[in-house]
Homo-oligomer: A and B are copies of this chain.
Amino acid sequence: MNTFGRFFRATIFGESHGEIVGVIIDGCPAGLPLSVEDFTEDMKRRRPEIKGVTDRKEKDVPIIESGVYEGRTDGSPITIIFENRDVASDGYEERKFLPRPGHADFVAFKKYGGFNDPRGGGQFSGRMTVGLVAAGVVAKKIIEPLKPHAEVVEVGGRTDFLRAICEAQVDGDSLGGIVECTIKNVPVGLGEPFFDSVESLISHIVFSIPGIKGIEFGKGFESARMKGSEYNDEFVSEKGETKTNNSGGINGGITNGNDIVFRVAVRPTPSIKKKQWTVDLRTGKRTEIEIKGRHDICFALRVPVILEAACSIVFADLMLMEQRIGRVWNGKR
């Protein structure tokens, strides 16, 4: 349930306000150089400095606990741990019975019979994506020269979105956004027919990221409004290059050699400073709550690096399956 992948497998563990969060990566080729420094950039990208993110200040320096010997992966599972240092866990016990609108508080309470860890959202927190980003760092190295690149293209319906964020901050409100991801240099033939289509695998992992409520590939929802004669991508070379890329690089669930393109919709962060109504689970009475603590105004700003990680994990798995990466890393492929 907390494991993704058939070959290149990531297992996520930890809780928002527990001692640690982390990931175990199983199936990584042996011989890949891997050091703490490899993680620096992506970990930093997960903590955008601009307004619009939580003030929570995680150090997020990975501790590689196993799987690396003398600077290279050794074939055994790679365990990467991050300590949760800067947590403020007060007042969560009371909140257990006052579920925050838009949050997983209510479902977690019901599913786990009230035994769930309520602090910071427990295992439902965006904090859990730290492990995903870490697994993505390893995946990116092995899928080279594939280049995933994601960026925020819209926040709160606008493309000039810094101003939108400032306004939301003043209002004590939050914003959603749209993030687009492109992957270049993808070989033809990745993905499996039917249940393990590339869209199936990418959407599966992407919807595990908290707050994602939609995904579209290529022209996506716009394609539903097109005619076949407009939509079909005309072939221009025997290598599969096409004049347009309306299908987003995927036909019949299989990569066609053109760029993979997809977009996701991120709902606004549910934690807002404005007062909200909820119901006390003990009494059934309506109650007003005010959410304290530090929270993102726009979680979408953190999503690009998480999205790159998510699809890199998928492609690492697919490339191992299609034998485009060896079980022992040879430094070039």
- Interface set of A (CB-CB < 8 Å, partner B): 1-4, 6-7, 9, 11-15, 18-22, 24, 26-27, 30-31, 65-67, 69, 72-77, 79, 81, 99, 101-104, 106-108, 110-113, 115-117, 119, 121-124, 128, 154, 156-157, 168, 171, 173-178, 188-189, 192-197, 199-201, 203-208, 210, 212-238, 240, 242, 246-248, 251-256, 265-272, 274, 276-284, 286, 300, 321-323, 326-328
Contacts and interface: CB of A to CB of B under 8 A. Distances in A.
A81 to B, nearest CB: 8
A214 B212 contact: no
Given A101-B234, A267-B231, A254 B108 contact: yes
A301 to B, nearest CB: 12
26 contacts: A1-B196, A6-B6, A12-B194, A18-B65, A76-B117, A101-B232, A101-B234, A102-B247, A106-B240, A106-B256, A107-B255, A154-B225, A157-B225, A173-B227, A173-B228, A173-B229, A175-B227, A176-B226, A195-B204, A197-B207, A203-B203, A203-B215, A220-B265, A229-B274, A231-B268, A232-B268
Contact of A11 (B77, B247, B248): B77
A200 B197 contact: no
A26 B14 contact: no
Given A210-B252, A278-B234, A223 B188 contact: no
Name the residue in A14, A107, A228, A279 with the highest tally of chain B Cβ atoms < 10 Å from its Cβ: A228
